Structure 1
Amino acid sequence: MAIPVIDIFAGPGGLGEGFSALSGGKKQRKFKIALSIEKDGEAHKTLMLRSFFRQFPAGEAPDDYYAFVRGEISIGQLYKNHPEQAETAREEAWQATLGEIPNAEVDRRIISALQGERNWLLIGGPPCQAYSVVGRSRRQETVLDASKDHRVELYKQYLRILAVHSPAVFVMENVKGILSAKTKESPIFSRILKDLSDPAEAFLEEEDFPDVELRCPGYKIYSLVNHPQSLELDGKRFYSHRDFIIYAEKHGIPQTRHRVILLGIRNDIAFTPDVLEQADQVPLQHVIQDLPRLRSGLSKEKDTYERWAKLIREIDINPAELPQNADVFDEIRKQLKKINPSEFGVGDNYIPWSHAACQYEKGWFHDPRLQGVLNHSSRGHMPSDLHRYFYAACFGKVRETSPKIIDFPKRLYPLHRNIEEAVTTKKFADRFRVQVAGQPSKTITSHISKDGHYYIHPDPEQCRSLTVREAARIQTFPDNYFFCGSRTAQFIQVGNAVPPLLANKIARLVLPAFEADPVTTVQESTALAEA
């Protein structure tokens, strides 16, 4: 019997994908998404499509699914052809905004999805923009105000579900900036740890809490990367707040993604989890170099290969301007000779391709039934940016690092009003960042949807930013995971997700908690059970 999972603030489903992909004998899934909740319309479409995909045994999705992702039939036709699985997916993937939808409706959905099961898993990450260091710096905030930004206390929606429904285990993810965020009353992370340890007590303090009996026994909170220290405070295990940061690149994920992830085990379950194993760093090239080669589009020019190649060849090479970068200029000359048409131009939502097979975790990524690559189309770039991208990619190729502004010829400086500050103080010094082939990528975030300047492809011949599929590979989404919506919406979904392969590794640590003997469960609230 698969363990039910409720996934809230689900995004496109990265965290849920990792758990639901964990299988035992005969490819039976160990975890099953019972309900996922997401407010964004495009992410919800992706979430529902993946739910539909999972209604079939692993490896047995219908041919119609592949016909849809290849653009041969519509999504409406796909669901019409498989009405039972489509209806189950509609029930499982719920588009709703927590904090706005009535709590009673949320509770009804959860109880219906669980079907009486008391030992289940809650996963998810409250929206993190309010906590991020970059976001707070942009807003010039040092103290967060929940009255002005409701996202500050969205974690209370997570907390409310713990208090009322008492899952056996929870996994909660957020940005590293949450460790330094604070309100007028207290540091946010310290308050979150206290509240999550005793959700019922935390919610008894809330005046608008519904009149139900709470029997949640509370939770032991664990780090997934560090064992508890021997020092104890008030009888509780001691962790430094930084012990909750997972450095993804240390655990086989091809990007330097640093996130806070908390594991909660209900107090009536006698189980202490293990920690994630460390692994060798995975270079970017191991997860993207097998994908079809593309060129960028042109955003403000007639878009043809001939025009694109001509613009790139117009880059002004003057080694005397930066004699210390003679090796970079030599590489530019070499790469200019290699510019040639790509078979697939600027790409598409589906490209026929028989060579897609990662060097890393091929079994995780690859699906031979696809017979191609999904969500692999390039952006259009301005001519001035093409020269910056080409220079940055050549610099990265020979120096194995991304150039700072001061490493660019002055004629390639962007026309930003704070460019001098970038040169003299190194603030905003990496506005154009190439992802180095031989190293893990920098963190994929939703900012990738705005422009490609921080995500320049390492191959100078392609002279472009990363595609959605390349970003998805870096985020470790399987190749048959199709992202719905516009390319901008797809980028946002990928950037906001938890890497599924990391989630899968966490799932392996969580599973034994449900196999612990004995597992003493708590009773549901009588008032809710009768609702």
Structure 2
Amino acid sequence: MNSRAIQQKIARLGAGGRLRVLDLFSGCGGLSLGFKAAGFEISAAVELDPDAARTHGLNFHPGDERHARPRDIKTKPSVLTEELGLGHHALAFDIIVGGPPCQAFARVGRSKLREIADHPEAFRHDPRARLYSEYLQYVEACAPLAVLMENVPDMLNHGGHNIAEEVCEVLGSREYTCGYTLLNAAHYGVPQMRSRMFLIAYHRNLVDQVIFPSATHWIDLPPGYEGSRAVALKLLSANDDARSAHYCKSPLVSPELPPAVTASDAIGDLPKIDARKALADGSLKRGARRFDEPIPHTAPEKITEYVRLMREWSGYPASASLTDHVIRYLPRDYPLFARLEPGDQYPEAYLCAEKMFEEALAKLQKRGEAPGENSAAWWELRAEIVPPYDPGKFPNKWRKMWSDQPARTLLAHLGKDGYSHIHYDSGQARTLSVREAARLQSFPDGFVFSGTMNPAFRQIGNAVPPLMAKVIAEQISAQLHAAISGSVRKKVSVGGGSGR
């Protein structure tokens, strides 16, 4: 069936059909949005988290509740396509994209991957492999022309295994040509230094070499990113071709390219939120942040190219007001945020807070009201000013952003506190808003997030930046269409030569 399905898909695309995407572990839809922007049709998604699944449905299939339902990856492909009215699962999709959570790969090993590939029930014996097993089953059942997998760089050196290479071995046994590499989003127009592993596979009937897109922007990445990259690539330096047979060197990045998009380029136009003022006038209160209070969009005198893209993204234009430009309630820390310098992390913040505490004690001393050291009142005052975390144990817990650099990697942990991204503007003295995080992840202003603030932050942090996905999607589209055009020309030539 699969061989016949492949040929039918090639024929359909040769006749002008659009490439259809199935997004597994889709989250809110970063990959989907990038592929849609590149001209692909987003046919279906599988996502377990209810808020993320609803976000995906709202943005890609508005009004169709079937697409907004959470689904477990164990949902059979045939059940998925039947529920969505997409016909036979082997014919419904042309490309499968997604990134199985990295826990699924923990020390599985090459022999275990082969076992999973050959025995779909193997996950019952090794639960760590279950999610990967289900991903493989979708590839096997749906016979895509291409596969895209995204994951953390550690996938190249996870517990002593190069899991990306092992994935390529399994897909190779399924007649796919594979390649993987490490790409940083800042090199592709995203205002964020986010390094990720991308693996692309094409059916051998079409493509025999994987090519990754050329960089579009320049930045000299900080040492931490280069160090993480070196650790991820450590296994590939071994004298064992089997460890890196499918690895593709990252595309060269030239200083002659346009500079990377900075944080201020990306979010500088958004309405200012003075956290201390909002706290004082009562407009900022404790409790869930719902997206039900519109804030008028500003009209800056000068608008960056990136901001224009975020406001005018095809299919997702900005409205007159923002409803998700909301921030965390952190009353203790706003005065501290105002004093931090760009690049300051938790040790610097802790020292600064200690100084603020000493200043507060001195003021009370002048009035003769200072509490006795280590008294209940003394500790109460300290708790109002100084964060409780040990600076030796949490050196990277906080970071104040630079305005003239891309943001550091946004993570799902944004859904818990947001201290990793303190706004660079000391006058606003706060952590990022939901819309600012979305901008830094390259989600356009018209993209709607389901749920309240915390789930939205988590969805954004978990997503693949749509602009990054778009660049990769365009490369995949170019290779597939070139191969299909060549296949059609070859058939025409053969047909003409036969005298028919």
Aligned partners of 1:283 and 1:446: how far apart in 2? Answer: 21
Report what 2:45 is aligned to: 36
Distance 2:162 2:207 in 1: 30
Counterpart of 1:281 (choices 257, 260, 271) is 260
SS at match of 2:102: coil
Provide Cα deviations, 1:464-492, integer angstroms capped at 9, x if missing partner: 10011000000000110010101111111
Indicate the SS of the match to 2:197: strand
Deviates more, 1:108-117 or 1:492-501: 108-117
1:252 and 2:189 matched: yes
CA drift of 1:92 comes to 4.1
The question of whether the paired residues in 1 share the 8 Å contact of 2:337 and 2:430 is answered with yes
Do the aligned partners of 1:172 and 1:263 also contact (CA within 8 Å) in 2?
Answer: yes
Aligned counterparts of 2:444 and 2:403: Cα–Cα separation in 1: 20
Q: Which residue type is aligned with residue 79 of structure 2?
A: E
Aligned in 2, Cα 1:273/1:130: closer, same or farther, shift over 3 Å?
closer
Q: SS where residue 95 of structure 1 aligns?
A: coil
The equivalences for 1:3-82 within 5 A come to: 3-22=19-38, 30-52=39-61
Q: Determine the structure 1 residue equivalent to 2:232.
A: none
Cα displacement string for residues 350-407 of structure 1 (whole angstroms, at most 9, x for unaligned residues): 3122427851334431146611224101110032x22332222xx11xxxx3345157
SS across alignment from 1:480: coil
Give 1:122's aligned residue.
Answer: 96
Contact 2:28 2:55 in 1 (8 A): yes
Tell whether 2:396 aligns with 1:430.
yes
- How many residues matched? 374
Residue 352 of structure 1 corresponds to 296
Amino acid at match of 2:35: F
Cα separation, partners in 2 of 1:182 and 1:105, compared to 1, 3 Å? farther
Q: Which residue does 2:169 correspond to in 1?
A: 194
State the partner residue of 2:199: 262
Q: How does 1:143-182 map to 2 (within 5 A)?
A: 150=127, 152-182=129-159
Among 268, 289, 311, the alignment partner of 1:366 is: 311
Give TM-score, length-normalised by structure 2.
Answer: 0.67
- TM-score of the superposed pair, with normalisation by structure 1: 0.63
Q: How does 1:404-415 map to 2 (within 5 A)?
A: 405-406=347-348, 408-409=351-352, 411=354, 414-415=387-388
Secondary structure of 1:282 counterpart: coil
Deviation at 1:50, TM superposition (A): 0.3
Q: Whose helix proportion is higher, 1 or 2? A: 2
The equivalent of 2:424 in structure 1 is 458
Contact 1:174 1:260 in 2 (8 A): yes
Pair 168,349 (structure 1): closer, same or farther in 2 beyond 3 Å: farther
Note the C-alpha offset of 1:165. 2.0
Q: Assess if the C-alpha contact under 8 Å between 2:189 and 2:261 holds in 1.
A: yes
Q: In 2, distance between residues paired with 1:440 and 1:164?
A: 41
Q: Are positions 1:220 and 2:157 aligned together?
A: no
CA contact (8 A) 1:4 1:114 kept: no
Computed over aligned residues only, the root mean square deviation of the Cα atoms, in angstroms, reads 3.3
Instruction: Find 1:483's aligned residue among 430, 438, 449.
Output: 449
Q: Partners of 1:38 and 1:464 in 2: how far apart? A: 32
Contact 1:297 1:380 in 2 (8 A): no
1:452 shift after superposition: 1.9
Partner in structure 1 of residue 474 of structure 2: 508
Mapped partners of 1:307, 1:51: distance in 2: 34
3-state SS in 2 of match to 1:172: strand
C-alpha distance in 2, partners of 1:507/1:283? 24
What code does the residue aligned with 1:21 have? Answer: A
Contact 2:400-2:423 within 8 A present in 1 as well: yes
For residues 162 and 429 of structure 1, do their structure 2 counterparts lie closer, same or farther at Cα, with a shift above 3 Å needed?
same
Question: What letter is aligned with 1:120?
Answer: D
Change (3 A) 1:147 1:92: closer
| Structure 2 letter corresponding to 1:382 | P
Question: Are the equivalent residues in 1 in contact too, given 2:336–2:353 (CA < 8 A)?
Answer: no
Corresponding letter in the other structure for 1:112? L
* 1:132-180 deviation per Cα after TM superposition (whole angstroms, max 9, x unaligned): 99xxxxxxxxxxxx88994554122211111222200111111122222
Rounded to whole Å, the distance in 2 between the matches of 1:360 and 1:405 is 36
Counterpart selection for 2:326 from 360, 377, 381: 377
Give the distance between the partners of 2:163 and 2:212, measured in 1 at CA. Answer: 25
User: SS in structure 2 opposite 1:170?
Assistant: strand
In structure 1, list runs of 5 or more residues that go unmatched.
23-29, 54-85, 134-145, 200-217, 224-243, 309-345, 521-531
- 2:273 matches 1:294: yes
Inter-partner Cα distance in structure 2 for 1:119 and 1:381: 46
Q: Is the 8 A contact 2:295 2:323 kept in 1?
A: yes
Cα distance in 1 for residues equivalent to 2:295 and 2:126: 42
Alpha-carbon spacing, 1:484–1:120, altered in 2? closer, same or farther (3 Å)? same
Residues 285 and 151 (structure 1), Cα distance of their counterparts in 2 relative to 1, 3 Å cut: farther
Q: Is the 8 A contact 2:177 2:208 kept in 1?
A: no
Distance 1:151 1:43, change over 3 A: farther
CA distance in 1, matches of 2:46, 2:439: 24
Q: Match of 2:7?
A: none
Change beyond 3 A, Cα 1:441–1:487:
same
Taking the aligned partners of 2:61 and 2:294, their CA distance within structure 1 comes to 20
3-state secondary structure, aligned to 1:502: helix
Query: Could you say if the C-alpha distance between residues 197 and 350 of structure 1 is closer, same or farther in structure 2, counting changes exceeding 3 Å?
Result: farther
Q: What amino acid maps onto 1:283 in structure 2?
A: T
Question: How far off is 1:191 after superposition?
Answer: 2.5
- 1:295-320 CA-partner distances (Å, limit 9, x unpaired): 3379xxx9433899xxxxxxxxxxxx
Q: 2:65 aligns with which of 90, 97, 105?
A: 90
Superposed CA offset, 1:200-259 (max 9, x none): xxxxxxxxxxxxxxxxxx211123xxxxxxxxxxxxxxxxxxxx1111112211111111
CA change 1:306–1:498 in 2 (3 A) is: closer
